[in-house]
Amino acid sequence: ALWQAESVSQQVPGAGGRVLDDKLWKAETNKVRITVCQNGTGDFKTIREAINSIPPYNTRRVILEIKPGVYREKVSIPKPLPFVTFLGNSSDPPTITGNDTASATGSDGKPLKTFQSATVAVDANYFVAINMKFENTAPHVVGSMGEQAVALRISGTKAAFYNCSFYGAQDTLYDHKGLHYFNNCFIQGSVDFIFGYGRSLYE
């Protein structure tokens, strides 16, 4: 069953046997895995469908195993959906791509502005991404206004990114707020390609 718990080996807490984050500890010992594959061989064809299947106020680590491919989606992980992991293939990472800009018109007829231009927006806590590419392909025209085009915005806290790449021109990675960790990540842009108020470690 899709929401059947994954079997996990006995885990040993760090810091001398103390659990530093009880919510995270419980989530990691009760995982569920969902497969996203565009050819229909997984549980879902799109990342948005997979996210929509997660119950609000989820307390389990939900691993979205995203198969290789180019996913042309605008993806949002709202605050009531913590503990989500995007897991890609290390040899052929999947790409999530979009081309919205701050000046683009939203569904309400108003400009999106920088905050809503993100291809992937994460408002939930405890997000993890492994072996993923995040992209905003909107070109940057020198001297023009409203060309901010975010590839990923992270606004939740206690998030981690491993072996991920972020591609854009202006305002590629919006490290908005919270505690974040980036390990072996590549970030490309021309103007303000890392910005925000996050308390983050990059190594």
In the chain, the number of structural domains is 1
Q: How confident is residue 60, by pLDDT bands cut at 50, 70 and 90?
A: very high
Q: Which CATH number belongs to the domain containing residue 121 in this structure?
A: 2.160.20.10
Residue 17 lies in a domain: no
**Catalytic residue at 92?**
no
Q: Is residue 10 part of a domain?
A: no
Reading phi first (left if > 0) and then psi (alpha if -120 to 50, else beta), residue 15 is in left
pTM value? Answer: 0.89
User: 94 in a domain, yes or no?
Assistant: yes
Single out the catalytic residue among 21, 22, 92, 192: 192
In a domain, 89, yes or no: yes
Residue 158 maps to a domain: yes
Residue 187 covered by a domain = yes
Return the amino acid letter for 77: I
pLDDT of residue 170: 86
* Residue 43 belongs to some domain of the structure: yes
Q: Which residues, 6 or more positions from 188, have their beta carbon under 8 angstroms from its beta carbon?
A: 165, 166, 167, 168, 172
Segment 18-53, tens digit of pLDDT: 768 999 999 999 999 999 999 999 999 999 999 999
Residue 13 lies in a domain: no
Q: Which domain holds residue 36?
A: 22-202
